[in-house]
Structure 1
Amino acid sequence: MGGLRTEWIINTQLRVPCLSERQREVFLALGEGLSTREIASRLAISEHTVKLHITNILQILGLTSRLQVGLVAFAYEAGCLSGCDSCRLGPRSAS
């Protein structure tokens, strides 16, 4: 967990920083384990654009790999994390 921000581990109210709507879609798709190609196809954007979104998400979340992003997204979907107060991350899916 070396790449995870310490405050995520220490804070009792874990929150995911704000993401744009498209970043949110890519973030959640990574949580589903989708590949770059699958995300691009689902969102009707290029693989290059997906990679740019992933790079931006990594920077925003302070993570170093798409696997870490996928794990954070999975934890978010499982209800272990919440979005920031003024966030566009939106509600978890009703699954």
Structure 2
Amino acid sequence: MSLDTRTVRRIAKLARIGLDDQEAEGLRQELDGILGWVEQLNEVDITDVPPMIGTGLAKPRLRVDVVTDGGKREAVLSNAPDRADAFFTVPKVVE
């Protein structure tokens, strides 16, 4: 696949990149080289290559979702500067 200068200018405009004529021609040559390399990848035989695990085939390890109260009320409330029974107490901020 070969790009023309018009297509390169359109790509540059979409990317909000300002190019003069010399830069556009240089970028066209670079993009042609990149696209040529990508076309070479289409020639590789991948019939017996299994997909990588990162393609969504892996199943996440899940734990059982169990609702508990935590069982650590006293440990949590021990950090409170002031408490009333099983609750934190805070200074009144709204009159």
TM-score, length-scaled by structure 2: 0.25
Q: Which has the higher helix share?
A: 1
So what's the TM-score if we normalise by structure 1? 0.25
